[in-house]
Amino acid sequence: MLQLDYQLFELINNLTEKISFLNPIMIFLASRAEYLFYAAVIIYWFTRTDKNRRMVFVALVSAAIGLGISVVLGDFFYRDRPFVAHEVFQLVPHAVNASFPSDHATASFAIAMSIWFYRRKEGWLWLALAAAISFSRVWVGVHYPLDVTTGMVNGVLCALLIHLVFSKWSPAKKLLEGILKIYNKIEQSIWKKK
């Protein structure tokens, strides 16, 4: 399986030479596009609708749990980055740490899937961006396909589980509503003072 993963990695990573005009786009996606997710979370939160705030809360909890799982998986199934183990076309600098699974894929899919649960039309765009980020991480030489696929599955499953917990389980729903109610009161008192 790892041999097949490496062959697929080579196929994608070699595109840096064959279709080099896409390299700047892939570099942006691999190293900067994650900031679009951060901006989205902030913008959705401050649009001041309870639906958006529920969505952001679920997205952040999903991403945090997914990233925690990634750390555990990385410790148990440590795998060197492609640029450590092989000669690759590495387009972005990266620390020499665990390649498996991809934190970028985990977090971006956890957030994108959470958005999809609340806003289907926009959610598809965020899922497409998460997929593009994941693909670009292989293109630029910092992840294997299995790394980003596992990160994607991890992020999607965490988002699904957390969404179900906060939408179907009464104690969690009440907790979330309580947190939002307290936050809204604090925010209203701040806005009134100004």
Give CA 167 to chain center in angstroms. 21
Residue among 154, 156, 178, 155 at smallest CA distance from 166 = 178
Q: How far apart are CA 155 and CA 110, in angstroms?
A: 4
Q: How far apart are CA 129 and CA 22, in angstroms?
A: 16
Residue ranges per domain, the chain? 25-193
Give CA 149 to chain center in angstroms. 12
The pLDDT of residue 184: 86
Look-up: residue for tokens 């389980």? Answer: 169
Give CA 107 to chain center in angstroms. 2
The pLDDT of residue 193: 56
Which residues in the chain land under pLDDT 70? 193-194
How many CB atoms neighbour CB 104 within 10 A?
26
The pLDDT of residue 95: 87
- Identity of the amino acid at 25: I
The pLDDT tens digits for 38-48 are 999 999 999 87
The pLDDT of residue 93: 86
The pLDDT of residue 115: 97
Per-residue tokens: 126: 């965020």
**DSSP letters of 16-48?**
HHHTGGGHHHHHHHHHTTHHHHHHHHHHHHTT-
> What does each C-alpha distance from 54 to 16, 20, 117 come to in angstroms?
40, 41, 11
